[in-house]
Chains A and B, each alone.
Chain A
């Protein structure tokens, strides 16, 4: 039987949650036996080549590209999981959510105390994904099936979740594994 496939993405995150996946230590060998990685920064596969059983999403949506990637994951994964606080509530990037976007950009590119920008231009190249008005949690954009809280979620949380889902057991996190920091 072919191994189930897992895909991962880092949207508006810091890659800390991906680091936590690697933090399962030598269980990574078991994981490789259990699953095959499809689209993921871990193997640098850029495009889905197959339908995936599980998609792990780190980070929320701060720009239009994040939204497109997340929609692509929803389309290609049976089970989609928000991994970490940024995916669940926006996290640190969402600190801008109480400030209007224009004010953020002005502060970053024009008025900030260390800004050097003689042309007084705010970057607007069409290669740069357009920022959204605020940062959105993943479940505000597409349906997410599970949430693994933590900043990052402990390796044990990710491990238990993956093993439960891939072996068809219910995903029930113990008290120690639900933490928001």
Chain B
């Protein structure tokens, strides 16, 4: 059973190992599948749907779908890129994203995905939700205006830090990241060095006193699109 198998992504032959998701097999082959909630080393959350591919003609999340022999996967098609653009634009309008003064700007995965997809303005109406900031902790703050509910902090706190600092509460548009069931960040055992802090893809969980450390032009996504580090491994 443990033999490698092959399948295709956009017509290119990809080798898969048993147990690999489409995302993992693609990444090993240097094929980038756009994603936001997925982070290597964390349990996939499968919530953002930016990684949606057509798998044997049906839409599937590449970060959760196991790869299998003979699968026909479409990734970089106009139709899928348009869907991804819509998803990313929705994330922008349903939060409050002021990139010009955000500490994460230039290193933010949501913003970088919008750049990669060539978004100049969202086509959906801005919702301007009322979201809260918790700056009670001496080292870390959480600004829910920028949270995209990716679940990384929840999983990392549980699995990597063994702490359970973050959980989701509420449903639908009221869903938000809570701290130890309604406590303040300061009342938890969170440390600035925790994985849960480092994994946030956006400027929602940030270490204090470190903003704007890298000059414009030298930040992660100033020159090269997100995903190019994976694509450069392509043989």
Contacts and interface: CB of A to CB of B under 8 A. Distances in A.
A178 B221 CA distance: 11
Contacts of A167: none
B99 A151 contact: yes
By size class, the interface of chain B is 20 to 34
A91 B98 contact: yes
Contact of A91 (B100, B106, B122, B131): B100
Contacts of B106: 181
Contacts, number: 70
A91 B126 CA distance: 12
B121 A97 contact: no
B111 interface: yes
Nearest to A136: B126
A119 interface: no
Interface residues of A, number: 28
A146 B118 CA distance: 13
Given A180-B99, A181-B216, A88 B126 contact: no
Interface in B105-144: 105-106, 111, 114-116, 118-122, 125-126, 128-131
Given A147-B120, A176-B223, A178-B115, A92 B126 contact: no
Contacts of B116: 175
Given A98-B96, A180-B100, A175 B225 contact: yes
B121 A149 contact: yes
A90 interface: yes
A90 B81 CA distance: 26
A180 B121 contact: no
Most chain A beta carbons < 10 A, residue from B118, B120, B125: B120
Interface of A: 82, 85, 88-92, 94-95, 97-98, 134, 137, 139-140, 144, 146-149, 151, 173, 175-176, 178-181
